[in-house]
Structure 1
Amino acid sequence: MKKVVIIAIFLFVSLMYFGLGRDYLFDWDEGIYGTIGREMVTTGNLLTPTWNGNLWLEKPPMIGWVSALGITLAGDNELGVRLFMPLFAGLTLYAIFRIGQKLGGTLMGSASAALLGYFNLFLSRARASNTDGMLLAAIAWTLWLLLSGAPAWLIGIVMGLAIMVKGPAGLLAILIAIPLLIKKPKKFLLQAIGYMLLAVLPWHLYALVAHGWSFITPYLMEQVIRRATVPIEFHTESRWFYLNFLTHDLGLGVGIVSLLGYATMFKNWLSKKSLDKNFLLAWWLAIPLIIFTLAKTRLSWYILPVYPAIALSCGYLITSFAKDKKSKTLISILVVGMLFQMLYHAFSYINFGKNPTPYSDSIQVANELSQYHGGTIAMLVSESERIAQAILPRDQTISSSFRYGGAPSIVWYSHKHVQY
């Protein structure tokens, strides 16, 4: 079964690469991250991310480094910007397979990986330039390495990479790993923390010394504290936003199977009168869900870190029926079918026969302007953007709210600085 899963993950990643550069960069994130990577390549400055020629310190530079490397290898195009995203998805699937294998056996790991690869939000993050899929890979590998008894230095570096991808939100990798970390000896924890700081501190200290409040304000005060305490930029979704989104995105059936999986775990805990290692799955689901629900600014992709926990709980329930040789054979056949279904869904998702998405009018104009000399162009932002700027309450505004003119990809396609 292990070989079947590895082949399935390889095929999944291969499918994700088909037509990866087919569609233009979407606003907002892809247009921003692509430009940051390009400007790193053209300026050679890998320590200070810039966008549109100006300082950009909303997140650490890892996403810029990944985009820059992709552009260097695959060219200054959409494929280059997205080049490593399917790879991060594949790394996540492999880690989830190994986590499930550690917690409940090969069948559980196989079923869990098949389910995660089927989920639409996971698929969308596998083909777009984003930090969420990268963070998910770091979380999954942190947990797998802890379960597999990896050395402290390796675990510390992976936890540090989570922070270098997403900033303070990367601490989620540590929070989710607490049930495993508290079982480690003090020496191990100190070593892991030391290597994590070794991965994190150099750039953060450089940014603090070099840019002071120009770093602290967007990086910490706005992207973390303000987003957690204020519903910025009209994001006034209800307290039940994430539960509603999960129900819509995953379907009621997945939700029921996941709940039954957790109920089965709870029943087993009661019978043993102690929490076993599968408590990690309940913790993994609860921590991100609670944190992001309590935060005032809510966006659908923030909740991606709970998807592996849901997949693993479903895998737990499915494989709990494999009690004898006959039932194990039947469950094995079911799991192989799930892996095929994952690949079929991925095949359908990428839509082999689809033509490239036509440029919008603004992107078409920007692309044509890239052929002309001159380093700067002016763009009148859309009426909706102007109205939003006029009516958005000041306490829901941060410095980047209208920095991008509602169309940051214009900078990418015009190859020029844009005055919005």
Structure 2
Amino acid sequence: MTDAALSPTVASPANGATRADRMRAGLKRRRARETRFRLYGLLAIGVAVAFLLLLLGRIVEQGHTAFYAHTVTVPVYMDPARIDRSYPQGTNFELLVAEQQLARLGIADDEAGSKATAMRGLFSSELKFIAADQVKAQPDLIGRTVPISAPLSDDADLYFKGEISLDTPAEQRRLSDQQIAWLEGLQAEGRVKSHFNTALFTRGDSTEPELAGVLGAVIGSALMLLVTAVIAIPLGVGAALYLEEFAPRGRLTNLIEVNINNLAAVPSIIYGLLGLALFINWMHLPRASPLVGGLVLALMALPTIIIATRSSLKAVPPSIREAALAMGASKTQTVFQHTLPLAMPGVMTGAIISMAHALGETAPLLLIGMVSFVPGVPHGITEPTGALPSLVYIWENASERAFHERTAAAIIVLLAFMVVMNAAAVLLRRRFERRW
């Protein structure tokens, strides 16, 4: 038994070869696992990029047609018997143009006026305002035949964009065969022109899809972000400075930190309910105004700014603080003259990202009344207005088909805003960031 216990168990060449084989097999399995892990990572990135491209492609496919529109130019006889010289806006120019177009085509209207109504349906309601403004500016046009250029109606515009086709059964489209024939005739005469849709960026919301624009929503979003930045950034940075640099460590500080982290995960609709109860019902601030919207978004952005600022302050090496204090600087001088300037790239990045996140929020805005139809452009932070996210919600729920392409166009504008803000954050970080 003693000889057996003392005899070596791995001294033979066979045992050595077996151990080496096991080591090589283990290394091979480790390398295979590492290779699979890398492939899984590449697959995850590929799937994410594919879904992103699918989303962006679908939005661009649906919304690119909103960036161009069609206008029609028709000759109009300014009939003195039907135009009120003192008040041209009271003239029914739509019916006047429709009847003259039917007469030019040699088509007699019926007693119910259905053909004139069908012809009127090809022109936007903007036609009457354009004609009235021309007569008001030049009264001598009355009695003469002048060309009037006006947008086509939303359905006629969709036909030239290929969204309405003759192949579709007549009962499933809003343009009749006769109306499509009239449009083809106008196009053959060279009266229909395609152009960049400047109205999309120079007008506010409208009940007419061909006249609706995003200007009011863009200005409303900009005013809200201005209010949010003025309130949230100073408060957030100040709170982070106190908690990180001045607050004594204890249970109260730990409780505040935990609550701030929890507030960053609160659903945005809760902030909307808080804003409705606090700012509108209790403080009686104007409903659907950029002021209320900015206050609600500021409450939502505060936790993100505080967390980002504290992380940036922690990233500053302690040696900076120690050196400043050793040279005789006070705690306040150390924080505001050394620590905060060095942490500023991260602070600005967190602030901009929180603003970009606030720009895309919809639920809080719906609860404070920004889902209402507001046709004008706001001129102050207390006037009712819309915002880009709420405009997307309103247009997507509209019954007119032409609003759907404008919904995608508004999403593109919103994404462009967010890309610009995130790009600014990246550039600021790269410009001012220091490596330790």
TM over 0.5: no
Q: TM-score, normalised by structure 1?
A: 0.20
Larger radius of gyration: 2
Q: TM-score, normalised by structure 2?
A: 0.20
